[in-house]
């Protein structure tokens, strides 16, 4: 692998463009710097040798790129943080509920209603499933 990385690192712009076309089947986007071209080619070589990212990671990255909130599971011991109207709220996830400001709550929706004064989906408000 290190030989391949050194080989790519030693390439000039023309050689990088040729490698890009061979690997991706099309020319690279215009105006990419030579160091960036090399980083992408090295990253792709590593993916081919080491196996790349998981399908789950690809789905999460696509979801992130879409601008939507990526839901995550809230496990006991984790903390959820939400800023609302200039104030930051921190909620601890415990078995069977949640703790905020020393008070135990049965649902995130109840906490979201307390914070906003309106009906919200608690998991949506905090960005969790």
Q: What is the pLDDT of residues 88-122, one digit of tens each?
A: 999 999 998 999 999 999 999 999 999 999 999 99
* Neighbouring residues of 42: CB distance < 8 A, sequence distance ≥ 6: 4, 5, 8, 9
In terms of phi and psi (left: phi > 0; alpha: psi -120 to 50; beta: otherwise), the region of 67 is left
The tally of CA atoms less than 13 A away on the side-chain side of residue 112 is 15
CA-based nearest residue to 41, from 19, 13, 18: 19
**How do 79-84 and 97-100 pair as beta strands?**
unpaired
pLDDT of residue 72: 65
């Amino acid at each position: 692998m290190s030989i391949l990385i050194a080989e790519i690192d030693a390439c000039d712009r023309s050689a990088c463009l040729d490698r890009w076309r061979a690997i991706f089947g099309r020319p690279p986007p215009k105006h990419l710097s030579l160091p960036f071209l090399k980083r992408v080619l090295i990253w792709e070589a590593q993916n081919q040798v080491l196996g790349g990212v998981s399908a789950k990671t690809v789905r999460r990255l696509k979801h992130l790129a879409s601008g939507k909130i990526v839901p995550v599971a809230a496990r006991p011991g984790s903390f959820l943080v939400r800023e609302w109207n200039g104030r930051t709220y921190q909620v601890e996830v415990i078995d069977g509920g949640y703790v905020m400001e020393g008070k135990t709550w049965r649902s995130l929706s109840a906490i979201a209603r307390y914070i906003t004064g309106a009906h919200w989906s608690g998991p949506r408000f905090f960005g969790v499933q």
